[in-house]
Chain A
Amino acid sequence: AQSVSQHNHHVILSEAASLELGCNYSYGGTVNLFWYVQYPGQHLQLLLKYFSGDPLVKGIKGFEAEFIKSKFSFNLRKPSVQWSDTAEYFCAVNAGYGGSQGNLIFGKGTKLSVKP
């Protein structure tokens, strides 16, 4: 069965620090990869996604993620975080084929707290 691991439960950074949140998945075939973000009091929203093509994906608000197939990883990065990036971040994976299979599997989430 597919699984998704997010290495850090809670990350605390100061503003302007660089961010990297780890995400590893277990599935040997083609995958679609997502990062979702949940800001305090708001609903879950898509940050970025990878389906195919360039493994370096750019998302909203200056975030990017790199798909490294050999490492089964899809780490999220941002060069300089802001206080407004305080949120919970979820990595998600599903198998890259259509039909009724391939449901989205989520990691347990990483809380990011940015100190002003």
Chain B
Amino acid sequence: SQTIHQWPATLVQPVGSPLSLECTVEGTSNPNLYWYRQAAGRGLQLLFYSVGIGQISSEVPQNLSASRPQDRQFILSSKKLLLSDSGFYLCAWSGGLAGHTDTQYFGPGTRLTVL
């Protein structure tokens, strides 16, 4: 069966520091991969999605970036964190056969606090 992992589970970083959050999927190949940010009372906001290695689409302009160095690995990064980057970051995958219309399955998330 497919599983999705995210780490770290929680992270506290100072303003201006770099960021690297990792997401890996097991049990499937060539998935679509997604990064979301969840803010209280605001639902989930799609940040990036990827349909293949090295293919990244950005939905929201900001100081974050994403990379997909391997088929089942998706990384969210920042060179310099801002206070406004605090939040709960979720990675998700979908089967990819039907594009983004396929069901998405979510990882456990990373709680990021920027101080």
Residue positions of A touching B, CB distance < 8 A = 4, 9, 32, 34, 36, 42-46, 49, 51, 90, 92, 94-109
Contact = CB atoms under 8 A, between A and B. Distances in A.
Contact of B106 (A43, A51, A96, A102): A43
Nearest to A4: B43
Interface of B: 34, 41-46, 49, 51, 57, 59, 90, 98-101, 103-109
Among all A-B residue pairs, the 4 with the closest Cβ atoms: A98-B99, A44-B106, A108-B43, A106-B44
A109 B108 contact: no
11 contacts: A49-B103, A90-B44, A96-B101, A97-B99, A100-B57, A100-B99, A101-B99, A103-B59, A104-B100, A108-B42, A108-B43
A9 B41 contact: yes
A90 B100 contact: no
Given A51-B101, A100-B100, 13 more contacts: A9-B41, A45-B106, A46-B105, A95-B101, A98-B98, A100-B57, A103-B49, A103-B59, A104-B34, A104-B46, A106-B45, A108-B41, A108-B42
A44 B99 contact: no
Nearest to A46: B103
Contacts of A102: 99-101
Given A44-B90, A100-B51, A100-B57, A34 B43 contact: no
